[in-house]
Structure 1
Protein backbone atom coordinates (compact mmCIF):
# COMPACT_ATOMS: atom_id res chain seq x y z
CA UNK A 1 0.00 0.00 0.00
CA UNK A 2 1.43 3.37 -0.93
CA UNK A 3 1.46 6.37 1.37
CA UNK A 4 0.27 9.79 0.30
CA UNK A 5 3.17 12.11 -0.39
CA UNK A 6 2.18 14.57 2.33
CA UNK A 7 2.05 11.71 4.88
CA UNK A 8 5.44 10.21 4.04
CA UNK A 9 7.99 10.01 6.81
CA UNK A 10 10.83 12.51 6.48
CA UNK A 11 13.49 9.95 7.43
CA UNK A 12 12.79 8.02 4.22
CA UNK A 13 14.59 10.73 2.26
CA UNK A 14 18.19 9.76 1.56
CA UNK A 15 19.47 13.34 1.61
CA UNK A 16 17.83 13.83 5.01
CA UNK A 17 19.52 10.71 6.39
CA UNK A 18 22.79 12.00 4.98
CA UNK A 19 22.25 15.39 6.63
CA UNK A 20 21.48 13.72 9.98
CA UNK A 21 24.67 11.65 9.75
CA UNK A 22 26.59 14.80 8.85
CA UNK A 23 25.11 16.57 11.88
CA UNK A 24 26.04 13.67 14.17
CA UNK A 25 29.61 13.45 12.84
CA UNK A 26 30.23 17.18 13.11
CA UNK A 27 28.76 17.29 16.62
CA UNK A 28 31.05 14.45 17.69
CA UNK A 29 34.04 16.21 16.13
CA UNK A 30 33.17 19.45 17.93
CA UNK A 31 32.63 17.66 21.24
CA UNK A 32 36.15 16.27 20.91
CA UNK A 33 37.51 19.81 20.38
CA UNK A 34 38.48 19.03 16.77
CA UNK A 35 40.86 16.32 17.93
CA UNK A 36 43.11 18.83 19.69
CA UNK A 37 44.54 17.82 23.01
CA UNK A 38 43.40 20.58 25.32
CA UNK A 39 43.91 18.95 28.67
CA UNK A 40 45.73 21.12 31.20
CA UNK A 41 49.38 20.21 31.49
CA UNK A 42 52.01 21.04 34.06
CA UNK A 43 55.71 21.74 33.50
CA UNK A 44 56.54 18.21 34.63
CA UNK A 45 54.24 16.78 31.99
CA UNK A 46 55.81 18.89 29.28
CA UNK A 47 59.46 18.38 30.28
CA UNK A 48 60.25 14.86 31.41
CA UNK A 49 63.28 14.12 33.61
CA UNK A 50 63.98 17.78 34.38
CA UNK A 51 67.19 18.38 36.31
CA UNK A 52 66.86 19.59 39.89
CA UNK A 53 68.74 22.85 39.21
CA UNK A 54 66.46 23.64 36.27
CA UNK A 55 63.40 22.81 38.35
CA UNK A 56 64.55 25.29 41.01
CA UNK A 57 65.05 27.97 38.32
CA UNK A 58 61.56 27.32 36.99
CA UNK A 59 60.11 27.38 40.50
CA UNK A 60 61.79 30.76 41.09
CA UNK A 61 60.41 32.24 37.87
CA UNK A 62 56.89 31.01 38.63
CA UNK A 63 57.09 32.26 42.24
CA UNK A 64 58.11 35.71 40.95
CA UNK A 65 54.80 35.94 39.04
CA UNK A 66 52.65 34.31 41.71
CA UNK A 67 52.17 31.00 39.92
CA UNK A 68 52.99 27.40 40.70
CA UNK A 69 54.96 25.31 38.20
CA UNK A 70 52.68 22.31 38.69
CA UNK A 71 49.46 24.15 37.94
CA UNK A 72 47.70 23.38 34.71
CA UNK A 73 48.41 25.29 31.51
CA UNK A 74 45.94 25.61 28.68
CA UNK A 75 46.93 24.70 25.18
CA UNK A 76 48.21 27.32 22.78
CA UNK A 77 44.75 27.84 21.24
CA UNK A 78 42.43 30.28 23.00
CA UNK A 79 39.31 28.70 24.39
CA UNK A 80 37.11 31.40 22.86
CA UNK A 81 38.35 30.53 19.36
CA UNK A 82 37.69 26.83 19.74
CA UNK A 83 34.23 27.46 21.23
CA UNK A 84 33.36 29.96 18.49
CA UNK A 85 34.29 27.55 15.70
CA UNK A 86 32.39 24.70 17.36
CA UNK A 87 29.28 26.86 17.62
CA UNK A 88 29.63 27.83 13.92
CA UNK A 89 29.78 24.21 12.80
CA UNK A 90 26.86 23.12 14.96
CA UNK A 91 24.78 26.12 13.85
CA UNK A 92 25.45 25.23 10.20
CA UNK A 93 24.26 21.65 10.70
CA UNK A 94 21.17 22.86 12.57
CA UNK A 95 20.37 25.25 9.72
CA UNK A 96 20.88 22.50 7.16
CA UNK A 97 18.37 20.22 8.90
CA UNK A 98 15.90 23.09 9.43
CA UNK A 99 16.00 24.06 5.74
CA UNK A 100 15.50 20.48 4.59
CA UNK A 101 12.54 19.96 6.92
CA UNK A 102 10.96 23.31 6.01
CA UNK A 103 11.33 22.61 2.28
CA UNK A 104 9.97 19.08 2.62
CA UNK A 105 6.87 20.29 4.47
CA UNK A 106 5.87 22.39 1.47
CA UNK A 107 3.88 20.41 -1.07
CA UNK A 108 3.58 22.97 -3.84
CA UNK A 109 0.35 23.57 -5.65
CA UNK A 110 1.23 27.08 -6.82
CA UNK A 111 4.29 28.65 -8.42
CA UNK A 112 4.81 30.75 -5.28
CA UNK A 113 5.02 27.58 -3.18
CA UNK A 114 7.46 26.11 -5.71
CA UNK A 115 9.60 29.23 -5.38
CA UNK A 116 9.47 29.10 -1.59
CA UNK A 117 10.48 25.44 -1.55
CA UNK A 118 13.30 26.10 -4.00
CA UNK A 119 14.64 28.96 -1.83
CA UNK A 120 14.81 26.60 1.15
CA UNK A 121 16.52 23.94 -0.96
CA UNK A 122 19.01 26.54 -2.20
CA UNK A 123 19.67 27.60 1.39
CA UNK A 124 20.38 23.98 2.39
CA UNK A 125 22.81 23.62 -0.51
CA UNK A 126 24.47 26.89 0.50
CA UNK A 127 24.95 25.60 4.04
CA UNK A 128 26.87 22.63 2.65
CA UNK A 129 29.24 25.06 0.96
CA UNK A 130 29.62 26.96 4.22
CA UNK A 131 30.42 23.75 6.09
CA UNK A 132 33.09 22.83 3.58
CA UNK A 133 34.56 26.35 3.79
CA UNK A 134 34.55 26.17 7.61
CA UNK A 135 36.57 22.96 7.56
CA UNK A 136 39.09 24.57 5.21
CA UNK A 137 39.30 27.53 7.62
CA UNK A 138 39.92 25.20 10.56
CA UNK A 139 42.61 23.39 8.60
CA UNK A 140 44.41 26.69 7.96
CA UNK A 141 44.29 27.87 11.58
CA UNK A 142 44.47 24.73 13.71
CA UNK A 143 46.71 21.69 13.50
CA UNK A 144 43.82 19.33 12.91
CA UNK A 145 44.04 16.30 10.73
CA UNK A 146 41.19 16.45 8.23
CA UNK A 147 41.93 12.87 7.22
CA UNK A 148 40.49 11.98 10.61
CA UNK A 149 37.11 13.29 9.41
CA UNK A 150 37.45 12.54 5.70
CA UNK A 151 34.15 10.66 5.80
CA UNK A 152 32.39 13.74 7.16
CA UNK A 153 33.86 15.95 4.46
CA UNK A 154 32.78 13.39 1.88
CA UNK A 155 29.25 13.59 3.32
CA UNK A 156 29.29 17.36 2.78
CA UNK A 157 30.15 16.80 -0.85
CA UNK A 158 27.58 13.97 -0.98
CA UNK A 159 24.91 16.56 -0.33
CA UNK A 160 24.63 16.82 -4.11
CA UNK A 161 21.58 14.72 -3.37
CA UNK A 162 19.98 18.03 -2.41
CA UNK A 163 20.62 19.29 -5.92
CA UNK A 164 18.90 16.21 -7.31
CA UNK A 165 15.95 16.81 -5.00
CA UNK A 166 15.76 20.42 -6.13
CA UNK A 167 16.00 19.37 -9.78
CA UNK A 168 13.19 16.85 -9.35
CA UNK A 169 10.94 19.72 -8.29
CA UNK A 170 11.16 21.09 -11.83
CA UNK A 171 8.67 18.40 -12.88
CA UNK A 172 6.21 19.60 -10.26
CA UNK A 173 6.73 23.19 -11.33
CA UNK A 174 6.09 22.30 -15.00
CA UNK A 175 2.85 20.48 -14.10
CA UNK A 176 1.63 23.52 -12.15
CA UNK A 177 2.53 25.87 -15.01
CA UNK A 178 0.75 23.65 -17.51
CA UNK A 179 -2.41 23.65 -15.35
CA UNK A 180 -2.32 27.44 -15.04
CA UNK A 181 -1.36 28.10 -18.65
Structure 2
Protein backbone atom coordinates (compact mmCIF):
# COMPACT_ATOMS: atom_id res chain seq x y z
CA UNK A 1 0.00 0.00 0.00
CA UNK A 2 1.29 3.47 -0.90
CA UNK A 3 0.62 6.31 1.48
CA UNK A 4 0.13 9.86 0.31
CA UNK A 5 2.52 12.43 1.71
CA UNK A 6 0.79 14.40 4.49
CA UNK A 7 1.38 17.71 2.67
CA UNK A 8 -0.41 16.39 -0.44
CA UNK A 9 -3.16 14.71 1.55
CA UNK A 10 -3.92 17.87 3.57
CA UNK A 11 -3.77 20.04 0.43
CA UNK A 12 -6.54 17.92 -1.12
CA UNK A 13 -8.92 18.07 1.84
CA UNK A 14 -11.96 20.30 1.67
CA UNK A 15 -11.43 23.77 3.07
CA UNK A 16 -14.02 26.20 4.35
CA UNK A 17 -14.55 29.54 6.02
CA UNK A 18 -15.87 29.92 9.55
CA UNK A 19 -18.00 32.66 11.10
CA UNK A 20 -19.21 33.28 14.64
CA UNK A 21 -22.34 35.10 15.73
CA UNK A 22 -23.87 36.24 19.01
CA UNK A 23 -27.44 35.37 19.94
CA UNK A 24 -28.55 38.06 22.39
CA UNK A 25 -32.11 38.68 23.52
CA UNK A 26 -33.91 41.00 25.88
CA UNK A 27 -35.94 39.64 28.83
CA UNK A 28 -39.04 39.49 26.57
CA UNK A 29 -37.24 37.22 24.10
CA UNK A 30 -36.75 39.81 21.38
CA UNK A 31 -33.61 39.18 19.30
CA UNK A 32 -30.82 41.74 19.01
CA UNK A 33 -29.74 42.36 15.42
CA UNK A 34 -27.43 44.86 13.78
CA UNK A 35 -27.73 46.63 10.43
CA UNK A 36 -24.41 46.61 8.55
CA UNK A 37 -23.67 49.63 6.36
CA UNK A 38 -22.52 47.34 3.53
CA UNK A 39 -25.62 45.08 3.30
CA UNK A 40 -29.29 45.54 2.56
CA UNK A 41 -30.34 43.23 5.39
CA UNK A 42 -29.89 42.91 9.14
CA UNK A 43 -27.53 40.41 10.79
CA UNK A 44 -26.60 38.84 14.09
CA UNK A 45 -23.61 40.57 15.68
CA UNK A 46 -20.56 38.62 14.54
CA UNK A 47 -18.22 37.94 11.67
CA UNK A 48 -15.55 35.71 10.24
CA UNK A 49 -13.13 33.71 12.37
CA UNK A 50 -9.54 34.84 11.90
CA UNK A 51 -6.74 32.36 11.26
CA UNK A 52 -5.61 30.75 14.52
CA UNK A 53 -8.71 31.98 16.37
CA UNK A 54 -11.34 29.78 18.00
CA UNK A 55 -14.95 30.49 17.01
CA UNK A 56 -15.94 31.50 20.56
CA UNK A 57 -13.01 33.94 20.64
CA UNK A 58 -14.11 35.39 17.29
CA UNK A 59 -17.61 35.88 18.70
CA UNK A 60 -16.26 37.80 21.72
CA UNK A 61 -13.95 39.88 19.49
CA UNK A 62 -16.75 40.75 17.07
CA UNK A 63 -19.01 41.87 19.94
CA UNK A 64 -16.23 44.15 21.20
CA UNK A 65 -15.51 45.51 17.72
CA UNK A 66 -19.10 45.92 16.54
CA UNK A 67 -20.93 46.81 19.75
CA UNK A 68 -18.16 48.32 21.85
CA UNK A 69 -19.05 45.99 24.73
CA UNK A 70 -17.86 42.80 26.35
CA UNK A 71 -20.24 39.87 26.67
CA UNK A 72 -19.73 36.41 28.06
CA UNK A 73 -19.83 33.91 25.21
CA UNK A 74 -21.85 30.95 26.44
CA UNK A 75 -23.14 27.73 24.97
CA UNK A 76 -22.99 26.87 21.30
CA UNK A 77 -26.58 27.08 20.03
CA UNK A 78 -26.42 26.57 16.26
CA UNK A 79 -23.96 25.22 13.71
CA UNK A 80 -24.97 25.95 10.11
CA UNK A 81 -23.07 24.53 7.11
CA UNK A 82 -23.56 26.49 3.88
CA UNK A 83 -22.12 25.41 0.53
CA UNK A 84 -20.16 27.83 -1.67
CA UNK A 85 -22.40 30.61 -2.95
CA UNK A 86 -22.05 33.74 -5.07
CA UNK A 87 -18.59 35.22 -4.73
CA UNK A 88 -17.75 32.92 -1.78
CA UNK A 89 -15.80 30.01 -3.33
CA UNK A 90 -15.77 27.81 -0.22
CA UNK A 91 -18.29 26.38 2.21
CA UNK A 92 -19.05 28.39 5.34
CA UNK A 93 -19.57 27.00 8.83
CA UNK A 94 -21.43 29.47 11.04
CA UNK A 95 -21.32 29.07 14.82
CA UNK A 96 -24.02 30.89 16.83
CA UNK A 97 -23.32 31.27 20.54
CA UNK A 98 -25.60 32.19 23.43
CA UNK A 99 -24.46 35.60 24.62
CA UNK A 100 -27.26 36.06 27.11
CA UNK A 101 -29.86 38.67 27.89
CA UNK A 102 -29.64 42.46 27.95
CA UNK A 103 -32.30 44.77 29.33
CA UNK A 104 -31.70 47.62 26.89
CA UNK A 105 -29.46 48.87 24.13
CA UNK A 106 -27.72 51.23 26.58
CA UNK A 107 -24.02 50.48 26.81
CA UNK A 108 -23.61 49.48 23.19
CA UNK A 109 -21.46 51.74 21.03
CA UNK A 110 -21.79 50.84 17.33
CA UNK A 111 -18.81 50.64 15.05
CA UNK A 112 -19.68 53.67 12.88
CA UNK A 113 -17.98 52.52 9.68
CA UNK A 114 -19.47 49.04 9.83
CA UNK A 115 -22.89 49.33 11.48
CA UNK A 116 -25.65 51.86 11.05
CA UNK A 117 -28.26 50.55 13.50
CA UNK A 118 -29.04 48.11 16.28
CA UNK A 119 -32.47 46.96 17.44
CA UNK A 120 -34.48 44.25 19.13
CA UNK A 121 -36.92 42.26 16.99
CA UNK A 122 -39.73 39.86 17.78
CA UNK A 123 -38.92 36.40 16.39
CA UNK A 124 -41.04 36.68 13.24
CA UNK A 125 -39.81 40.18 12.46
CA UNK A 126 -36.19 39.07 12.97
CA UNK A 127 -36.77 36.22 10.53
CA UNK A 128 -38.23 38.71 8.04
CA UNK A 129 -35.28 41.16 8.10
CA UNK A 130 -32.57 38.47 7.97
CA UNK A 131 -31.58 36.68 4.74
CA UNK A 132 -33.62 33.49 4.25
CA UNK A 133 -30.80 31.05 4.93
CA UNK A 134 -29.88 32.94 8.14
CA UNK A 135 -33.45 33.51 9.34
CA UNK A 136 -33.85 29.88 10.33
CA UNK A 137 -31.09 30.35 12.91
CA UNK A 138 -33.44 32.48 15.01
CA UNK A 139 -35.89 29.66 15.72
CA UNK A 140 -33.04 27.15 15.97
CA UNK A 141 -31.21 29.30 18.54
CA UNK A 142 -34.37 29.79 20.61
CA UNK A 143 -35.02 26.06 20.54
CA UNK A 144 -31.41 25.23 21.41
CA UNK A 145 -31.40 27.71 24.29
CA UNK A 146 -34.68 26.31 25.66
CA UNK A 147 -33.70 22.67 25.07
CA UNK A 148 -30.10 22.95 26.27
CA UNK A 149 -28.87 21.24 23.10
CA UNK A 150 -27.25 22.72 19.98
CA UNK A 151 -28.96 22.50 16.60
CA UNK A 152 -27.25 21.53 13.35
CA UNK A 153 -28.49 23.20 10.17
CA UNK A 154 -27.49 22.33 6.62
CA UNK A 155 -27.72 25.49 4.51
CA UNK A 156 -30.34 26.91 6.87
CA UNK A 157 -32.44 23.73 7.05
CA UNK A 158 -32.80 21.53 10.10
CA UNK A 159 -30.88 18.29 9.77
CA UNK A 160 -31.94 15.61 9.96
CA UNK A 161 -35.22 16.84 8.50
CA UNK A 162 -38.15 16.37 10.82
CA UNK A 163 -40.76 13.87 9.80
CA UNK A 164 -44.32 14.95 9.96
Report the TM-score, using the length of structure 1 for normalisation: 0.22
The structure richer in strand per residue is 2
The structure richer in helix per residue is 1
